[in-house]
Amino acid sequence: MKRSVLALAALLVFAGSARAMPLEAAIAAAEKNDPSLASARANRDAAFENIAIARARLLPQTSLQSTVQKLQEGVRQDAVAGGSLTSSYLLNAYNNQVSLHQALYHPRDWAGYDIGKLQSEYGNQKLASARSDLWVRTANAWIDVLTAVENQRIYEQTVQITGEAAEQADRRFKAGDGTRDAALEAHAQHELAKSQLAEAEISERSREQTFRILTGLDPADLRNGRLPDYRTLHLAVDDPETLRKAADALNPEILAARAAEQINLKRAEQAHADRLPTVDFVASKSWAQNDTVFTINQHYTVLGAGVQVNIPLYDGGGLSATQRQAELSAVASREDLRAQQAKLDTQLESDWAGAQASLERARSAQLLWQAAIEQKKAVEMGLKSGLRTWGDVAQADILIARRASDFLNYAAGVLHAQARLLSTLPVTENIWEPWVAQISLLARP
């Protein structure tokens, strides 16, 4: 029996012989499988095309127009002596024109080019935010599977130990050294342990399915892993102020909100530019042949070049409404940025406090687990002196399993809290990757 208790106590330290799937592999698979990230990447690429679209309005524009026709012309000539003579002719006509249009002064289109670059930056930051979100979702799913696997191992061991206790109670009852009530109690504790194992198995299947949907991988490799020790896993930042400064400067949602604010400011500038004149250089060359019965095979060539000035005078109030709309949108985006910054500060404060609270809960749960093991030793001593029954032993085993499971869940809570803190930063920063590499190493059996 003591050997079984020691085996249960070692479950959180040793759990198999094969290497568990590293978190890096799960993240790499999720990046290929996740539709949200694929959508963000496509939106980023689409936003990048705004630069080319805006730049095209500032580059030379050339065009060619060509018309070719076959004309039938009839001529009637009246004779002096009466009567008339009618003739029909099949004639050719064509008209070709090449034109060049180059913007010289287009303040609206220059602002549009700046907007295109800002829209590309906005797409980049939304993609970075989607990657951070995917990494934290994958890390949480990976941690959840390891937690569920270890919980199942705990209850498998408990079922074995309570089964042994029930058999011992039966033997003592048959030998006349025990009571029927004690034997029934030991069997009841064994059934309770089996129900807890069934619940743990259902939880494991559910979490494995979540992991499979997210990554497209078979989570079977994780069944050989163990939950990393929260006491040896640390973030690259060790105080909330440092993390807050890094998040203020690097958080993708904050940077996206700033880009959105700049976009709306530029749109307000663009609306102002709609009232300004535009200047263009235009040039064209035309060549044509328009035959008639009197002018056959006569060719025409025309060359032209000049400056075109367009001055807006009155548009029915549309420009004023557009300008007001753009200015109000800029105000709204400024407030959105403030709201995003407040949300980030609140999240950091809450998550940092939650991480510290998770640490304390894990430490307390570990002490309670150790206390349950000591209680089991006391019960075994009482069994030898006839003061305790095998049912009491089985109950002590179930208490150990429950306390060990609580400790696992609180330890997993510490890791979840660390992942939430990391989610405020882009994955390209040298904070995410060390944590991922360390947690993968600690998950090895």
83-121 pLDDT, tens digit per residue, is: 666 667 677 788 999 999 999 999 999 999 999 999 999
Residue 12 has pLDDT above 60, yes or no: no
pLDDT band at 207 (very low <50, low <70, confident <90, very high): very high
User: What is residue 84's predicted lDDT score, i.e. its pLDDT?
Assistant: 64
Together in a domain, 341 and 395 = yes
Together in a domain, 100 and 115 = no
* Calpha distance 395→187 (Å, rounded): 10
Q: Is 303 left (phi over 0), alpha (psi -120 to 50) or beta?
A: beta
Q: What's the mean pLDDT in 152-176?
A: 85
User: What is residue 80's predicted lDDT score, i.e. its pLDDT?
Assistant: 60
Together in a domain, 190 and 240 = yes
User: What is residue 3's predicted lDDT score, i.e. its pLDDT?
Assistant: 41
Together in a domain, 300 and 372 = no
Residue 183 has pLDDT above 80, yes or no: yes
Together in a domain, 149 and 289 = no
Residue 445 has pLDDT above 90, yes or no: no
* Calpha distance 238→39 (Å, rounded): 34
What percentage of the chain carries pLDDT values higher than 90? Answer: 47
Which one is predicted more confidently, 72 or 227? Answer: 227
Together in a domain, 268 and 283 = no
Nearest Cα neighbor of 286 from 102, 101, 99, 100 is 99
**Cross-strand bridge partners of residue 285:** 98, 303
Please work out, in degrees rounded to the nearest 5, the angle formed at the alpha carbon of residue 413 by the alpha carbons of 409 and 418. 155
CA distances from 413 to 22, 317, 392, 406, 441 (A): 19, 59, 31, 10, 19
pLDDT band at 6 (very low <50, low <70, confident <90, very high): very low
User: What is residue 166's predicted lDDT score, i.e. its pLDDT?
Assistant: 84
Q: What's the mean pLDDT in 175-199?
A: 85
Residue 148 has pLDDT above 60, yes or no: yes
Which one is predicted more confidently, 251 or 290? Answer: 251
User: What is residue 69's predicted lDDT score, i.e. its pLDDT?
Assistant: 81
Total domain count, the chain: 2
289, 291, 295, 296 alpha-carbon torsion, rounded to 10° = 90
Residue 306 has pLDDT above 80, yes or no: yes
Together in a domain, 238 and 340 = yes
Residue 436 has pLDDT above 80, yes or no: yes
Question: DSSP class of residue 445?
Answer: -
Together in a domain, 199 and 129 = yes
Together in a domain, 304 and 393 = no
Q: What's the mean pLDDT in 212-218?
A: 93
Predicted TM-score (pTM) of this structure: 0.81
Nearest Cα neighbor of 161 from 186, 179, 195, 198 is 186
Residue 4 has pLDDT above 80, yes or no: no
* CATH number of the domain bearing residue 378: 1.20.1600.10
Q: What's the mean pLDDT in 257-279?
A: 90
Q: What's the mean pLDDT in 231-253?
A: 87
CB 395 within 8 A of CB 144: no
Residue 250 has pLDDT above 60, yes or no: yes
Coil vs helix vs strand at 19: coil
User: What is residue 132's predicted lDDT score, i.e. its pLDDT?
Assistant: 94
User: What is residue 10's predicted lDDT score, i.e. its pLDDT?
Assistant: 39
What percentage of the chain carries pLDDT values higher than 70? Answer: 91
Question: DSSP class of residue 76?
Answer: E
Together in a domain, 389 and 240 = yes
CB 134 within 8 A of CB 37: yes
pLDDT band at 35 (very low <50, low <70, confident <90, very high): very high
pLDDT band at 224 (very low <50, low <70, confident <90, very high): confident
Instruction: For residue 246, count CB atoms less than 10 angstroms from its CB and return exposed for 0-12, middle for 13-18, buried for 19 or more.
Output: middle
Question: In degrees rounded to 5, what are phi and psi of residue 13?
Answer: -110, -45
Together in a domain, 129 and 208 = yes
Together in a domain, 75 and 111 = no
H or E element: which one contains 91? Answer: strand 84-105
The mean of the pLDDT values for the chain is 86
Residue 437: domain span: 2-58+106-276+317-442
User: What is residue 275's predicted lDDT score, i.e. its pLDDT?
Assistant: 86
Structure tokens at 230: 């929260």
